[in-house]
Amino acid sequence: MNKKSRIIVIAAVVAILLVGLALAFRPHTSNSVAVKTVKIEPTTFVVKLPENGTVMHPHMETIPALVGGNLATLDVKAGNRVRAGEVLATIENPSLDANAAGALADYQSSVANVKTAAIQERNARVQYQAGVDTARSSLDEARRVLKADETLYADKAIPRSQLDADRAKEEQAKVAYDQSVEQLKLGAVTGYGTSSVQAAKAQALKSRILNDQAQQQLGFERIVAPFDGVIQSVAARPTDANRTILPGDAVTAGQAMFTIAEGSAYVVQAQVDEQDVHAIKLGMPVNVTSEDFPNVTLRGHIARISPIATRSTDAGSTAREVLTTVALDESNPVLRDGMTANVDILTTSIPHALVVPTAAIVRVKKQTKVWLVRNGKAHEVTVVLGKSNDVQSVVRSGLTEGESVVAKALPSIHEGMRILPIPQSSPSGTP
């Protein structure tokens, strides 16, 4: 074979190869298209309202020192579970001890003074009553003598002067009796000339108040748990923030000594934008996730919605937010107070719903359609949609379970076109 013939043969072979490659990689004809399809199966359709939140205990308090002094004992540490009234620490303050002892002595003395004043008053009253009784006796005797002399004078047995003298004595006895009665009444008011019982009682009341205050201050030397809970933190040393306070360290009144959380449950607090509040209500289910506990989804529900809206914590925003509390239905040992979390409020949850991808929907005038794949070919069907989220819509009618539709409608698809499916997983109903 000459050189020219070889060139012709090589050219022919190359042409054949090019034609083969062209045939191998040529696009599908206009009567077929390769697209992803989805099978219509029941799923739970949800609409989420995403928010950011903070994990915290539902009830946590700071326990301060109510009096100053020096720490005497420290009886708990962070992580300890305590009971209401349990002593957490004690404070030593000699001045409070002395004041309490003095106040107690003063109160006990004032109580004794009330008893003494009462005894003195009773004795004085007896004396006053004795004066009344004596004056009464003298008056009765003067009246008896006067009556007897009046009989004798009628019989002319005694002179007129004697009768007049008897009458004068009776009048004097009557005046003396009336005065003693008035003195008895006045004595009941003034204490019969002795220390007043009422004054002693008033002093005792004052002493009791002062003693109660002193004893209360003394009681504040014992720091106790306000309720059952878990100690979250203990105050640091004044000179070393990395160590907890130690016996002997100075303590000031009002100093935060402990934080305590009630129970082991947690809640998540989220700020919901004021424009979204209308979509949430008490009891709505919530999913909580976080980078702090990856691959874990905690279930919860809305437990509280604040009645007021406050300004956003974002300095650059003028929006207002509503504090919303999510109670977790389950706990997790990794949870810690102060963790950040992602909060998905499920404002809509429809079980056993048939859904289609939003990308599959074709809008023709006022109708919504999808491309149904039946016997390998595309058929345009009208559907009635329900609720939608960012990626899916609920199909109320037009499709049945088990049918397949084109996942993403293309302008090139037409009625009867052959569909070459690229299968994918069924929609999950979650945006």
Which one-letter amino acid corresponds to residue 377? K
Domains in the chain (CATH in brackets) are: 32-44+352-423 (2.40.420.20), 49-58+265-349 (2.40.30.170), 61-89+224-261 (2.40.50.100), 96-216 (1.10.287.470)
For 31-88, what is each residue's pLDDT tens digit?
889 999 999 999 989 888 999 999 988 888 999 999 999 999 999 999 899 999 999 9
- How confident is the model over 231-257, as a mean pLDDT? 91
pLDDT > 90 fraction of the chain, expressed in percent and rounded: 45
- Asked whether residue 2 carries a pLDDT value surpassing 70, the answer given is no
pLDDT bucket at 266, cuts 50 / 70 / 90: confident
For 45-59, what is each residue's pLDDT tens digit?
988 899 999 998 888
Cα separation, 421 vs 403, in Å, equals 13
For residue 8, the model assigns a pLDDT of 57
For residue 220, the model assigns a pLDDT of 95
- Joined tokens for residue 269: 């607090």
- Residue 222 or 132, more confident: 222
- Residue 153 or 259, more confident: 259
- Asked whether residue 101 carries a pLDDT value surpassing 50, the answer given is yes
HEC secondary structure over the chain? CCHHHHHHHHHHHHHHHHHHHHHHHCCCCCCEEEEEEEECCCEEEEEEEEEEEEEECCCEEEEECCCCEEEEEECCCCCCEECCCCEEEEEECHHHHHHHHHHHHHHHHHHHHHHHHHHHHHHHHHHHHHHHHHHHHHHHHHHHHHHHHHHHHHCCCCCHHHHHHHHHHHHHHHHHHHHHHHHHHHHHHHCCCCCCHHHHHHHHHHHHHHHHHHHHHHHCCEEECCCCEEEEEECEECCEEEEECCCCCEECCCCEEEEEECCCCCEEEEEEECCCHHHCCCCCEEEEECCCCCCCCEEEEEEEECCCCEECCCCCCCCEEEEEEEEECCCCCCCCCCCEEEEEEEEEEEEEECEEEHHHCEEECCEEEEEEEECCEEEEEEEEEEEECCCEEEEEECCCCCCEEECCCCCCCCCCCEEEEEECCCCCCCC
For residue 3, the model assigns a pLDDT of 53
Q: What pTM does this model have?
A: 0.55
Cα separation, 407 vs 146, in Å, equals 135
For residue 428, the model assigns a pLDDT of 45
pLDDT > 70 fraction of the chain, expressed in percent and rounded: 89
For residue 424, the model assigns a pLDDT of 61
